[in-house]
Amino acid sequence: MKDRSRKVTIVALLLIAVGAVFAMRERPAAAPETGRGLSSASVLRAPVLSGRPRLVDLGAQQCIPCKMMAPVLEDLRREYAGSMDVVFIDVWKDPGAGEAHGVDIIPTQIFFDASGRELYRHQGFIGKADILSKWKALGYEFKAVRAQPAD
């Protein structure tokens, strides 16, 4: 009798979990966290409007390499404000953004020129110096508007 009640409990828990998954899928996705107040739908249009090149990082707040990217993106956003736009989109909160940008692996960084044309794509963690080096290779050299304090 114990085995039967255990099986019934397991089946009931599985049904509840499946129901929760379906309920969550039916809810509209929360607005992605872009760091600039932009929805993921406007990321491709925004470079044209801002007139600046744009680095878009597609990841998730809970993935380890994505967490490592967060301070890099914040430094770039702060140091090069007005020269380049830096945007983060959580593809776990907004899966359509990952699909729209053809993301297979997170984090993925996409470098866009000022007109919104994709110039380069990188998958995985990439450091600040490597990002700036890639921008330079793509023909962009940015001057920091705010120097980083020495550690």
Q: Which helix (DSSP H) or strand (DSSP E) does residue 98 occupy?
A: helix 95-100
Each residue of 20-75: pLDDT tens digit?
444 444 333 333 334 444 445 545 545 456 789 999 999 999 999 999 999 999 99
Specify the number of domains making up the chain: 1
Alpha-carbon dihedral sign for residues 100, 86, 111, 50 = positive
108 lies in some domain: yes
**Catalytic, out of 29, 44, 48, 63:** 63
**Catalytic, out of 46, 58, 66, 132:** 66
- β-partners of residue 20 are none
Q: Is 114 a catalytic residue?
A: no
Distances (CA, A) of 5 to 33, 49, 65, 132, 133: 44, 62, 43, 61, 62
User: Residue 110 sits in a domain of what CATH number?
Assistant: 3.40.30.10
149 lies in some domain: no
Q: Is 34 a catalytic residue?
A: no
Instruction: Select the highest-mean-pLDDT range: 4-8, 35-39, 129-133.
Output: 129-133
- Rounded to whole angstroms, how far apart are CA atoms 41 and 100? 9
Q: Which domain holds residue 100?
A: 40-137
